[in-house]
């Protein structure tokens, strides 16, 4: 596997922030949120995580690179617990036309390696229940369910 992580150029960060927020809002809509609520929640989260358009301290956004070409991205940083050794994968994506080749698995391995180098003793992430492929990947890498949120549509 030739995948690697390359820091996202800061001049491309605003475009990436917009894309990540749109994708997150889309996933929230898939879980039952209204489009307006999902959009607002995603935008507020990105504004909080990227004050002034720059990553919060300790956070990094990388391109996942394979054979010299960007094939996805990874946003990683400390989690919100206040424990400096607890890290979080805030967002990870392999572009659809590059999936099924082990690049997601390699991106996760590289994320863990990066977190360890920053002093992390644990790493976590959130995955939507409808994303069976991602859940399967994370479970195969040793990630365990830490909590579960359940809901029911009433309309």
Per-residue pLDDT reduced to its tens digit, 45-100: 999 999 999 999 999 999 999 999 999 999 999 998 888 899 999 999 999 999 99
| pLDDT value for 147 | 83
What are the tens digits of pLDDT across the range 124-153? 999 998 999 999 999 999 999 888 887 777
86-94 and 122-125 strand pairing: parallel
pTM listed for this prediction: 0.91
User: How many CA atoms does the CB half-sphere of 19 hold within 13 Å?
Assistant: 14
Q: Averaged over 22-27, what is the pLDDT?
A: 96
Q: How far apart are CA 85 and CA 123, in angstroms?
A: 9
| pLDDT value for 129 | 87
Q: How far apart are CA 45 and CA 42, in angstroms?
A: 5
Report, in angstroms and rounded to the nearest whole number, the Rg of the chain calculated over CA atoms: 16
| pLDDT value for 14 | 96
State the chain's mean pLDDT as an integer: 93
């Amino acid at each position: 596997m030739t995948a690697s992580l390359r820091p996202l150029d800061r001049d491309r960060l605003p475009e990436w922030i917009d894309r990540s927020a749109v994708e997150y809002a889309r996933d929230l809509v898939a879980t039952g949120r209204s489009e307006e609520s999902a959009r607002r929640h995603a935008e507020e989260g990105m504004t909080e995580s990227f004050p002034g358009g720059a990553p919060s301290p300790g956070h990094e956004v990388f391109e996942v690179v394979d054979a010299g070409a960007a094939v996805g991205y990874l946003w990683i940083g400390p989690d919100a617990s206040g424990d400096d050794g607890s890290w979080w994968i805030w967002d990870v994506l392999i572009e659809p036309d590059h999936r099924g080749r082990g690049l997601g698995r390699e991106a996760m391995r590289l994320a863990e390696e990066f977190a360890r180098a920053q002093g992390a003793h644990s790493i976590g992430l959130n995955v939507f229940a409808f994303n069976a492929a991602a859940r399967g990947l994370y479970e195969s890498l040793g990630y365990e369910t830490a909590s579960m949120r359940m809901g029911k549509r009433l309309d």
